[in-house]
A and B are shown apart, each in its own frame.
Chain A
Amino acid sequence: MELFNFFIQRWDSILELALEHIVIVITAMLISIALGIITGVLITYYNKSAKIVLSIAGILMTVPSLALFSLLIPVMGIGKAPAIAGIVIYTQLPIIRNVYIGIMNIDPSIIEAANGMGISPRKIMYKIKLPLAFPVIMAGVRTSVVMGIGIGAIAAYIGAGGLGAYIFHGISRSNDKMIIIGAVLISVLTILADKGLGRLQKHYEI
């Protein structure tokens, strides 16, 4: 009850932080998805590069996010820009990997037929390969978005704001209520994003 009152009293500033969080994550994810899909598509044409690109993306994901953000400070300073960059770097692997796997696992006879019928490679990509790989790609995107929202909280450490800032303030002031509210709201955002993307996927799937 006390927690509830605390929330009611400060709901406007909490809402502001939540919106800030959402804006950071959406910006980062739009960049990440575009970059990931382009990279994933490109490495299907150059099979040798696929291994290298996937390992690099894999290694980047193993860097602790706190360290990744700190390393970005000398390059990009503090604030929202390095936060967005960090989230993009961190969420590349699931997208690239799923685009690659989704496309490479299409029944080869479908691609052979398309080739033999005289459809250009570019059209085969966007009319056949990408639609067929869509469910797998979406699974990767959902994983990345979930990760992105979580890491977005840590980005508050380099001054990006968002709900993470609320948690950090709670820690420094030993205020349990702030920590709990921040954490719960981040969880709620994550669940909503995941479910929403799931809906979207179902809607466009065959």
Chain B
Amino acid sequence: MSQDVKVYHQYDTEKKETYESVVKKWQEEKSRMKEMTDSSRVMRWSYTNGMFKYKNNPGKEITDHNPYINIIDVDEFDLSIKNHPYPPDPPAFNNKNRPNFFGTLMDEFVDDAKWYKTNLHESYERILNEAKGIDLPKVNSKKTMNESELKEAIKNHAKSLGFVSVGVTKIDRRFVSVEIDDDIIFDTVILLGYEMPHEVLYRYPKPEHDTAAYYGYAHCAAHVHGVADFIREKGYDCRARSWEGFIKYSVHAVNAGLGNFSTYGIVHTPEAGTRIKYTSIIIDADLELDLPVDYNIEEFCSRCRMCQKSCPSLAIPKEETRYRGAIKRTTDHIKCFDMMATQHECVKCIRVCPISMLGYDNALNSLPSYYQYNLISNSYKTDYKQGGSDEN
């Protein structure tokens, strides 16, 4: 909750101090910072008003212990996340002074472009307002169900609205952009993934009637408030979050056991492969967290790499690299975004992906069958960490 947030002023004009005392104060401050930056906290710099602050970060625990996210040096990783803001958009992207690629794309290739645009605009407006506390819908004063029932109900309701991939995890603030840090007032997050239909992708590289990515965004926009209102009606407070990149959904989705990383670094789900766009809701309830699962997707991808071999911008890496404390596949987003803006959203990496286009089961059946053990390991009953009986 927000009372955990503490704000420290870097300097105070009222007080007259000696340089030495300032240095001494800073040294104390530093040791305090170290103390406070323990495993459950994250420290933020804010360049605009010269402040730094600590925030609770319960998701860190999950990410750091998630075997499917390769952070190999936690200290190095934490440090870089704090000091490096999200890289700026490349020039081709939606900058006010530049052509509006995606608006024009929708006008030309989407049958009902108006529906898309209105939805995106209105839904986003509402998210911004709610974050500021404007026009906040009332929460039912009486909790109509307990938290485990609630989780089940949310999942069912979200699925009825068309979200195919729904999971619960904690926010890891290292993957939240500084801009919206203050808006994330609850720690538990419900991820909602909307599928981009197979037939829409199938028409690429020449889209007709619909475009892939904006289909996903527009439908996320259209339905996310539906889920949020449902939760409030059950008596729990929550805020809808947008489908934009401010919260890095791939990491959270892997933490919530919804999928694994793909060759091009985004999340790959058994339901729809990478034909998926996520939005989310942060909720003021201790829902039971979903556990990470190894869907053997990395294993499959390492034997496929079709996206890497078909990427026209050569943005997708063949091998993983060590980057700021983590081993990961980083798609060169400058190269990629340029293609996205100029080639009808491109999406060639999705179009060629056997998991996304031919189905998870179809593709994964090509792996040796013992890999299926990974899928059921969460339900294993024996405690293998205990000493075994002498017979064995």
Do these two chains interact? no
